[in-house]
């Protein structure tokens, strides 16, 4: 049964989508069957992962358009990573849901149906607090809270804690805070260091050991529709998300598959050198499905078959 993890912070631009996409991708690469649900009407994760899907096969259509869950689950580049895409239509769900009974449980029902097929399900939430966010939180067991290392972030963190309290007290759903995650960390900046220190000191829950550095490759990778390990596998951002994936697996008490890095370096690697092959795929349990093919195949069927064979 999957661990269902929402990536949540009411603040926008703090690294939620970047975290959801890349952690999900690493977990997939480590052989974990992983589903990423894009639950933001800005659909950045859908674009960043580069899904091919029909316009009427998104999470909106699964929840309110009569599509079966499996019609909306799409294969990605990585054999073990699936995505349910979003589109701007998801914003309409807000209005449609308002008058429906059990309007806060639509995503939960979807997740419960697909849960037996995965080890991890990530829900990438938008930057607001509305009925969609509530659906996302009620569908999840755990939450990861990305926090940008900047001046106002402590305030944002308090808001997040308040929201989770409200969800617990009013809706009876006790979601576990798996951890806060420091993002866009720049150790050369005194402010960044101080805020990180302050959050570690004051946050009453786990703060992930790894700090996600500000790394231009992380911002560039989505425009190539690739998770970071296919774009710049040796970049500091990639290594950080890889470590985060390890931390998350460890939290579940599971052993981590034997896996090591060759020559992890501090500096950014130029994109041209950052081929998937450089990533020592033979040591990863679930290797990229067809790593040598740089772009999505027109026909996703071989990838899906590969996934099922591997499962």
Q: Is 215 in the site for ligand ADP (CB under 6 A)?
A: yes
Q: Is 243 in the site for Mg ion (CB under 5 A)?
A: no
**Which one among 5, 10, 11, 17 touches Mg ion, defined by CB under 5 A?**
17
Q: How far is the CB of 237 from ligand ADP (least distance, A)?
A: 5
CA distances from 111 to 3, 279, 289 (A): 11, 32, 25
Q: Which stretch binds ligand ADP (CB under 6 A): 29-37, 156-164, 170-178, 215-223?
A: 215-223
Q: Which stretch binds ligand ADP (CB under 6 A): 115-123, 186-194, 210-218, 253-261?
A: 210-218
Q: Is 11 in the site for Mg ion (CB under 5 A)?
A: no
Q: Is 173 in the site for Mg ion (CB under 5 A)?
A: no
CA distances from 107 to 64, 94, 234, 288 (A): 10, 12, 36, 29
Q: Is 214 in the site for ligand ADP (CB under 6 A)?
A: yes
Question: What is the C-alpha radius of gyration for the chain, rounded to an integer number of angstroms?
Answer: 18
DSSP code string of 205-230: S-B-S--PBP-HHHHHGGGGT--HHH
Nearer to ligand ADP, 233 or 289 (CB): 233
Q: Is 46 in the site for Mg ion (CB under 5 A)?
A: no
Nearer to ligand ADP, 128 or 158 (CB): 128
Q: Is 163 in the site for ligand ADP (CB under 6 A)?
A: no
CA atoms within 13 A on the CB side of 29: 30
Q: How far is the CB of 232 from ligand ADP (least distance, A)?
A: 12
Q: Which does 184 bind (CB under 5 to 8 A by kind): Mg ion, ligand ADP, none?
A: ligand ADP
> What residues between 216 and 245 interact with ligand ADP by CB under 6 A?
218-219, 237
Q: Is 212 in the site for ligand ADP (CB under 6 A)?
A: yes
**Which one among 2, 8, 15, 121 touches ligand ADP, defined by CB under 6 A?**
15
By CB under 6 A, the count of residues binding ligand ADP is: 17
> What residues between 26 and 65 interact with ligand ADP by CB under 6 A?
44
Q: Which does 214 bind (CB under 5 to 8 A by kind): Mg ion, ligand ADP, none?
A: ligand ADP
Q: Is 75 in the site for ligand ADP (CB under 6 A)?
A: no
Q: Which stretch binds Mg ion (CB under 5 A): 14-22, 94-102, 160-168, 222-230?
A: 14-22
**Which one among 160, 184, 249, 269 touches ligand ADP, defined by CB under 6 A?**
184
Interacting residues with ligand ADP (CB under 6 A): 12-18, 44, 127, 183-184, 212, 214-215, 218-219, 237
Residues near Mg ion (CB under 5 A): 16-17, 44
């Amino acid at each position: 049964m999957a661990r269902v993890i929402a990536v949540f912070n009411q603040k926008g631009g703090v690294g939620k989508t970047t975290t959801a996409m890349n952690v999900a991708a690493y977990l997939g690469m480590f052989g974990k069957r992983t589903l990423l649900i894009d639950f933001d009407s800005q659909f950045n994760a859908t674009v960043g992962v580069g899904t091919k899907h029909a316009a009427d096969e998104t999470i909106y259509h699964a929840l309110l358009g009569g599509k079966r869950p499996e019609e909306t689950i799409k294969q990605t580049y990585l054999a073990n990573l699936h995505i349910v895409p979003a589109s701007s239509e998801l914003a309409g769900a807000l209005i449609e849901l308002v008058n429906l009974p059990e309007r806060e449980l639509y995503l939960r029902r979807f997740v419960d149906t697909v849960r037996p097929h995965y080890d991890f399900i990530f829900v990438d939430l938008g930057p607001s607090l509305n009925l969609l966010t509530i659906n996302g939180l009620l569908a999840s067991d755990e939450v990861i809270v990305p926090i940008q290392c900047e001046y106002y972030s402590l305030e944002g963190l308090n808001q997040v804690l308040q929201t989770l309290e409200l969800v617990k007290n009013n809706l009876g759903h006790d979601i576990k805070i798996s951890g806060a995650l420091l993002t866009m960390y720049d150790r050369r900046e005194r402010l960044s260091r101080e805020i990180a220190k302050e959050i570690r000191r004051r946050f009453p829950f786990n703060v992930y050991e790894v700090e996600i550095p500000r790394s231009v490759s992380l911002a560039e990778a989505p425009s190539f529709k690739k998770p970071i390990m296919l774009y710049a596998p040796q970049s500091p951002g990639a290594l950080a998300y890889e470590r985060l994936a390890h931390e998350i697996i460890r939290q579940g008490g599971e052993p981590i598959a034997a896996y090591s890095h060759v020559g992890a370096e501090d500096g950014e690697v130029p994109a041209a050198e950052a081929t998937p092959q450089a990533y020592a795929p033979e040591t990863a349990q679930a290797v990229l499905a067809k790593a040598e093919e740089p772009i999505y195949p027109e026909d996703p069927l071989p990838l899906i078959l590969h996934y099922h064979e591997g499962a």
